[in-house]
């Protein structure tokens, strides 16, 4: 499917212009992107949805990553070829943003949002085929990494997400397949959960984008 005007997005009868095209290149306007995200967020999550000024720096990083603004990403120390690991306190809006941001680039390959705990429940039910199922060319965003239980199938324990992240790392190196994630945990907690080997692969797999530690709980 071709997008002759990828910077223009229609939501019902409303047109959102996220920037302009100059010399066959889109020049995005960050404030116009935020206007669209606010409107799309209300459609997806209800009228109470809003973006917060205190999160502007985090949003700026994420938007530049998704629109693949390589100049800004270089300044922000973000590699556009890697995935995003979005971290922050409970309720700060990580999951909503990862569901929302993919809509500003409808021409890019989409990713599926998958709760990490659901992957483990699948493993407990059908076993190692679950790990194989996530070792394919699809793009995924694993939600709430690190707080899922250990998998158990026929009496054998397995760190299911850890194994999947190793597989996804191989896919990234060989086929440039992206993986995203969200987490409430810090680097040490992730290492305690998955081990040093997986944590090392996660550094190669993800750009870390973090909310401030004192970010408010938007669900209150």
69-82 pLDDT per residue, tens? 999 999 999 999 99
Q: Is the pLDDT of residue 99 over 90?
A: yes
- Domain of residue 19: give its range: 8-210
Domain contains 113: yes
Task: Supply the DSSP symbol for 189.
Answer: H
Residue 220 pLDDT: 66
pLDDT band for position 3 (cuts 50, 70, 90): low
Domain contains 1: no
What CATH number should be reported for the domain holding residue 178?
A: 3.40.50.300
Percentage of residues in the chain with pLDDT exceeding 90?
88
pLDDT band for position 213 (cuts 50, 70, 90): confident
Could you tell me where the beta strands, DSSP code E, fall in 66-201? 83-87, 111-115, 139-143, 151-153, 156-158, 179-183
Structural domain count, the chain:
1
This prediction has a pTM of 0.94
Residue 24 pLDDT: 84
**CB of 144 within 8 A of CB of 150?**
no
Domain contains 220: no
43-63 pLDDT per residue, tens? 999 999 999 999 999 999 999
């Amino acid at each position: 499917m071709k997008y002759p005007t990828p910077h223009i997005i229609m939501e019902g009868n409303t047109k959102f212009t996220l920037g302009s095209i100059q010399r066959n290149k889109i020049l995005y306007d960050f404030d116009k992107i935020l206007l669209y995200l606010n409107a799309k967020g209300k459609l997806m999550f209800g009228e109470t949805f809003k973006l917060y000024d205190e999160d502007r720096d985090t949003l700026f990083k994420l938007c530049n990553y998704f629109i693949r603004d390589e100049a800004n990403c270089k300044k922000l120390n973000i590699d556009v070829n890697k995935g995003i690991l979005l971290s922050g306190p409970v309720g700060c809006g990580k999951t909503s943003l990862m569901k929302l941001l993919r809509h500003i680039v409808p021409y890019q390959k989409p990713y599926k949002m998958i709760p990490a705990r659901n992957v483990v429940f699948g493993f407990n039910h059908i076993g190692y085929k679950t790990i194989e199922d996530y070792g394919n060319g699809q793009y995924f965003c694993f939600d709430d990494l690190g707080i899922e239980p250990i998998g158990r199938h026929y009496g054998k324990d397995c760190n299911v997400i850890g194994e999947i992240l190793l597989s996804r790392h191989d896919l990234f190196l060989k086929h440039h397949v992206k993986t995203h994630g969200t987490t409430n945990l810090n680097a040490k907690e992730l290492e305690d959960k998955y081990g040093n080997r997986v944590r090392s692969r996660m550094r190669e797999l993800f750009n870390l984008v973090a909310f401030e530690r004192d970010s408010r709980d938007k669900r209150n």
